[in-house]
Amino acid sequence: MTIRVLLADDQALLRATFRILIDSCDDMEVVAEATDGEEAVELTRTHRPDLVLMDIRMPGTDGLAATARLCADPDLAATRVLILTTFETDEYVAQALRAGASGFLGKDVGVDELLGGIRTVVAGESLLSPSATRALITRFLAAPDPGGHLAPPERLAALTAREREVMALAAEGMSNAEIADVLFVSPLTVRTHVQRAMTKLDARDRAQLVVIAYQSGLVRPAPPTR
């Protein structure tokens, strides 16, 4: 399968660089380029890419607003958004995840990490860059959100005990293989539980499942260290 990518960045040189890198891969291709968030939304609806590589800071409609619009559109449920930006701050990471982004990388990443990140997100996994540490993410995701919770605590009643357990471990940053080791089951079994939890909670992907885990109170952030 060829991964179809849409680039959204207001810097032409960066778009050209990303296009060269992505088109050089046998399993990827760039299908369109957008210079701002509004154009990114329009082109995504036209081309239906597998992934939008989205900058945050763009003129007019920014990347966060565009991400929220894309992720709220049921017709684009199959499209993932990977945020790529120089503005890698705590607030931006939390806002991007709340908006529905599946991943977040700084523009200083290496080629292999970028291409690997695209594959990871399209495969349905979440992706956070090393500098977006778990402590910072959990602190901001657990903070009150003016837009409301993605899932009230009672919605977790739809999950089985094992699905809640797997969801909690995923929210702590564990991979399927790591969860499998902890629970003494196969990674395939873990993946099945994750997929069922996502379906029951209407989560687009693993990243949104993590957001739901914190905002519903299933997992709570560790108290800040002094």
Give me the pLDDT at residue 149, please: 47
Give me the pLDDT at residue 113, please: 86
Give me the pLDDT at residue 131, please: 46
CA atoms within 13 A on the CB side of 95: 14
* Distance separating alpha carbons of residues 13 and 123, to the nearest angstrom: 28
CA torsion sign, 164 to 191 to 131 to 12?
Answer: negative
Topology of the domain covering 146-215: Arc Repressor Mutant, subunit A (1.10.10)
Local structure of residue 158 (DSSP, 8 states): G
**Is CATH 1.10.510.10 correct for 3-132?**
no
What are residue 54's phi and psi, to 5 degrees? -115, 125
* Distance separating alpha carbons of residues 106 and 1, to the nearest angstrom: 27
Q: What is the pTM of this model?
A: 0.71
| Residues of the chain where predicted confidence (pLDDT) is lower than 70 | 87-91, 126-153, 221-226
Q: Do domains 3-132 and 146-215 have the same CATH topology?
A: no
The amino acid present at 144, given as its one-letter code, is P
* Distance separating alpha carbons of residues 119 and 210, to the nearest angstrom: 19
Domain ranges of the chain: 3-132, 146-215
CA torsion sign, 116 to 127 to 134 to 90?
Answer: positive
pLDDT, tens digit (0-9, with 9 covering 90-100), for 126-183:
666 544 435 445 555 555 555 554 456 677 889 999 999 999 998 877 888 889 999 9
The amino acid present at 128, given as its one-letter code, is L
